[in-house]
Amino acid sequence: MTVYLLCFALFMVGLYGIITMRNLVKIVISLSIMEFSIFLFLALIGYIDGGSAPIVDPSAPDKIYVDPLPQAMVLTAIVIGLATTAMLMSVIIRIYRKYKTLDIREIKNLRG
């Protein structure tokens, strides 16, 4: 039970970072921290007591394995997170070229 609460605490750390940080790169890093906490939670859900890694061993047919489906979901979600972070980074480089600053309080062209 404590493991799941620690995942939730990591989620809250990431959320605090997105809300209060002023530098654009720090906002992206906080979004990454939030994503990693959910991946950790998802991989921990599939644990079965006494299970081992889900690689089939032909010599011992009655072994208990942990659930492999959440692990496949986490692999896909990691790749999606990579694409999102790469997209955000290229947008940040272009913003730096136009605004000459990385402070989010200076970027307020669209209002109303």
Which spans of this chain sit near other proteins (rule: CB under 8 A)? 18, 24, 27, 31, 34-35, 38, 41-42, 45, 53, 55-56, 58, 69-70, 73, 75-80, 83-84, 86-99, 107-110, 112
Q: In the bound complex, what is the minimum distance in angstroms from residue 14's beta carbon to other proteins?
A: 9
Q: Is the CB of 2 or the CB of 76 nearer to other proteins?
A: 76
In one letter, which amino acid is 70? P
Helix 24-45 and helix 2-20, axial crossing angle in degrees, nearest 10: 160
Q: In the bound complex, what is the minimum distance in angstroms from residue 53's beta carbon to other proteins?
A: 8
Alpha-carbon span 99 to 50, nearest angstrom: 56
Q: In the bound complex, what is the minimum distance in angstroms from residue 21's beta carbon to other proteins?
A: 11
Q: Is the CB of 3 or the CB of 86 nearer to other proteins?
A: 86
Distances (CA, A) of 45 to 8, 38, 55, 56, 78: 14, 11, 18, 21, 17
